[in-house]
Structure 1
Amino acid sequence: MSETEVPFRPREKLLEKQKHFQSIHKHTYLKGPMDKITSVAIPIALAASSLYLIGRGIYNMSHGIGKKE
């Protein structure tokens, strides 16, 4: 059984994509079209929400809000 495996993409498309990505002079984690969302927006949103929650917790502790009796 000497079947050759069918590639996922044609070789021409692959070479075209390689040339495209090699011509971009950005950081490697920002080269794709959706990479700004996953590499920049999500970490900023997580950091902002965690800073907000930490600040709210410190405020509540310093004013005695939300204590259990």
Structure 2
Amino acid sequence: MVDEAPFRAREKLIEKQRLFQSIQKHTHLKGPVDKITSVAIPLAMAGSSLFLIGRGIYNMSHGIGKKE
């Protein structure tokens, strides 16, 4: 049977494990790009949805954009 090459070098894996185990942040914010996916994108979606809801309420209260 042929042995398959490891996905990542063992030394790199141990180094990454040490790094992530030493950080005292929450688990979902440990990586360098995780702040974008865990914080920025949800905030942008919440902000845009609040804007669209506010615009819809304004348009309904003033009768703007009604279909004849």
Could you say which TM-score interval applies, normalised by the shorter chain? Answer: over 0.9
Identity of aligned residues (%): 78
Mapping of residues 44-63 of structure 1, within 5 Å: 44-63=43-62
TM-score, normalising length from structure 1? Answer: 0.96
TM-score, normalising length from structure 2? Answer: 0.98
Separation in structure 2 between the aligned mates of residue 15 and residue 3 of structure 1, nearest angstrom:
25
| Moved beyond 3 Å, runs of 4+ | none
Mapping of residues 1-69 of structure 1, within 5 Å: 2-69=1-68
Separation in structure 1 between the aligned mates of residue 24 and residue 47 of structure 2, nearest angstrom:
29
**RMSD in angstroms over aligned alpha carbons?**
0.5
Gaps of 5+ in 2: none
Residue identity matched to 1:24: I
Gaps of 5+ in 1: none
- Give the length in aligned residue pairs: 68
